[in-house]
Structure 1
Amino acid sequence: MDLEKIAFILLKARAFDAQEDVVEPDYGSNAEDDQFREVLEAYEGDATHSELVDAINDLNWDEQCHLVALVWIGRGTFDADQWQEALSEAQDGHTNHTAEYLTGIPMLGEYIEEGLSAFDISVTDIEMQNL
């Protein structure tokens, strides 16, 4: 799997995970006056969510299965030494709704990071390789 793609998805997932539920649905038109709520809260049509979904949907079938297996390892459903089993289950259960499934998992970014960590890979390592 392309680690650059995973790193991008991880960063988008972190931003998405950090958002809070909308407190005031009808915020004003001036972002400064509204303390940039549209960035920090999950308003309808949110660009962060759209970018995350697009990035996941842009993965091919194999990459989507790898990402799901990585998330499952990150959340502790499988151990790193059970990679083939996790991947096999991800492949068997694959649908055209991978992005919806993954974005519905609270703490997605943390699970991706933990999954990478289980294989001794850090986002910093990925970023350093691309400099």
Structure 2
Amino acid sequence: MIEISASKVVQVIFQAREGRVAEAELSAFIENLNDDEQAHLTAIAWVGRGSFDAEDYAEALMTARTEKTTPTADYLMGMPHLAENLEAGLDALGVDVDAEEEDLL
């Protein structure tokens, strides 16, 4: 189902929480993900903010792939509450965010 490692999503969450301090690093990290990973990252954020239900993840993913009009890093970094959306999205999709965060620390 999810084709981006949870550790990569958690890395984005950490960097998004840093705000302007990690802005360049976050942008570079997202830009270095492949197209599929970027689409999954966007879909996870959409699930987390309630634009799609977890059961509609495949639809969110397809929408992320077909309706992309701006660079993913720009789009996601402009999203209010990105870190919270990604965390909520992972949780809704059944990924244990706390365990992933512990592994990263």
With the shorter chain as reference, the TM-score category is 0.7 to 0.9
- Give me the whole-angstrom Cα distance separating, in 1, the residues matched to 2:61 and 2:70: 16
- Give me the whole-angstrom Cα distance separating, in 2, the residues matched to 1:75 and 1:60: 23
CA RMSD across the alignment:
1.8
Question: Which string of whole-angstrom CA distances, capped at 9 and with x for unpartnered residues, describes residues 24-45 of structure 1?
Answer: xxxxxxxxxxxxxxxxxx4xxx
Q: SS in structure 2 opposite 1:109?
A: helix
Q: Which has the higher contact order (CA 8 A, sep 6+)?
A: 2
- Give me the whole-angstrom Cα distance separating, in 2, the residues matched to 1:6 and 1:120: 14
Q: SS in structure 2 opposite 1:77?
A: coil
Partner in structure 2 of residue 14 of structure 1: 17
Runs of 4+ in 1 over 2 A off after TM superposition: 127-131
Mark the runs of 5 or more structure 1 residues left unpaired by the alignment: 17-41
Higher helix share: 2
Partner in structure 2 of residue 115 of structure 1: 89
- Give me the whole-angstrom Cα distance separating, in 2, the residues matched to 1:110 and 1:51: 19
Q: SS in structure 1 opposite 2:94?
A: coil
Partner in structure 2 of residue 57 of structure 1: 31
How far did residue 121 of structure 1 move? Answer: 1.6
- Give me the whole-angstrom Cα distance separating, in 2, the residues matched to 1:101 and 1:62: 16
- Give me the whole-angstrom Cα distance separating, in 2, the residues matched to 1:83 and 1:115: 10
- Give me the whole-angstrom Cα distance separating, in 2, the residues matched to 1:11 and 1:122: 15
Larger radius of gyration: 1
Q: Is the 8 A contact 1:113 1:122 kept in 2?
A: no
- The structure 1 residue matched to 2:8, chosen from 1, 5, 8, is 5
Q: Percent identity?
A: 40
Mark the runs of 5 or more structure 2 residues left unpaired by the alignment: none
Partner in structure 2 of residue 89 of structure 1: 63
- Count of matched residue pairs: 102
TM-score (norm 1): 0.71
- Give me the whole-angstrom Cα distance separating, in 1, the residues matched to 2:69 and 2:32: 14
TM-score (norm 2): 0.87
